[in-house]
Amino acid sequence: MKKIITIMLVLLTILTTILISGCTVDTVDTAPLEKITITEGQQPIGALVYIAFENGYFTEQGLEVIFQNHFSGKSGLNAVLEGKADIANVANTPIGFNVLKGNDVSIISTIGTSTKAIAVLALKDKGISVPSDLKNKKIGVTLGTNGEFFLNVFLTVHGLTINEVELVNTAPTEMYNELLEGRVDAVSAWNPHIGTIQSGFGDKVITFFDEDIYTLSWNLAGTSEFVNNNPEKIEKITRALVKAEEFVKNNPAEAITLVANFLQLDEEKLKEDWTTYSIEATLKQTLLLGLEDQSRWAIENNLTDAKEIPNYLDYIYMDALEKVKPEAVTIIR
């Protein structure tokens, strides 16, 4: 009898354990992930977004990120403004142009900067060996982007004006072919297209960098309506980005491999470019100054109907980054 009771007690204990385990499983939060569409323009300087996606940091925050591919940040931001996406990966120049147009834009965070992300690449057989040789040449550039701003400043620094060259509006993905077919003599390009052109043309092309005239700021931005109406989502995105930033700091080699694989880039070339990037989530005063400089340029060159430089503080959402990583917000208010 005692043996039977002992067996029953053992079975009861096992059954109780199973039931408790079952209840534990059932009580795990199974809320569906919140979907959010982020545009991306195949830019390695936007590494934090790709790392947060690949390492599951967005998922940890309860987000299902859907990427929408674009050939440029400008195109991605247009999609956001048209209601086709939620957040854009975009450089500061398209943001500035849209603010000047009166469009509804809100910057969430800068996620990467570089002073060597844009260059003018020219064909040597077109008689170009120094910047001044660009006079009267056809230059491919994606109008309304940081490529146009860089080109304008670059020409000015080297004694030329934008009126002394012929601009050819060219998509970034078409620059290689435009050079190959001889439809342009030079291009103002950014990575990874710089590397593609250099690899394809070899010593037939000359590359002009100028690290002292421009700092590329790569940002996440949405409409102010979306950002202000979804503060929890924006905070979750920011937390995932900051975690990705820590991963980059602690695992630089692995981060490069991850981004190279995600964007299908040559890893050795990306290693070279990586040294010119500052990959971190920030909102710095330099972002504000850069936007103001580019607005001044656009106004002075009649590229906009606006007559005054906007107060860009009204177009920067600081709440999320201030909450997640307050030391990264150094904009003077």
Q: Residue 142's pLDDT band (boundaries 50, 70, 90)? A: very high
pLDDT, residue 333, reads 86
Structure tokens that stand for 215 in this block = 């700092």
pLDDT digits (tens, 9 = 90+) for 296-325: 999 998 999 999 999 999 999 999 999 999
| DSSP assignment string, 242-261 | HHHHHHHHH-HHHHHHHHHH
Helix H or strand E encompassing 121: strand 118-123
pLDDT digits (tens, 9 = 90+) for 144-176: 999 999 999 999 999 999 999 999 999 999 999
pLDDT digits (tens, 9 = 90+) for 208-251: 998 888 899 999 999 999 999 999 999 999 999 999 999 999 99
Instruction: For helices 231-250 and 47-54, give the axis angle rounded to 10 degrees.
Output: 90
| DSSP assignment string, 198-256 | HHHHGGGEEEE--TTT--EEEEEEE-HHHHHH-HHHHHHHHHHHHHHHHHHHH-HHHHH
List, in order of start, the domains of the chain with CATH numbers.
34-115+215-328 (3.40.190.10), 118-208 (3.40.190.10)
Q: Residue 5's pLDDT band (boundaries 50, 70, 90)? A: very low
Structure tokens that stand for 4 in this block = 């039977």
User: Would you say residue 20 has pLDDT above 80?
Assistant: no
Structure tokens that stand for 75 in this block = 């195109």
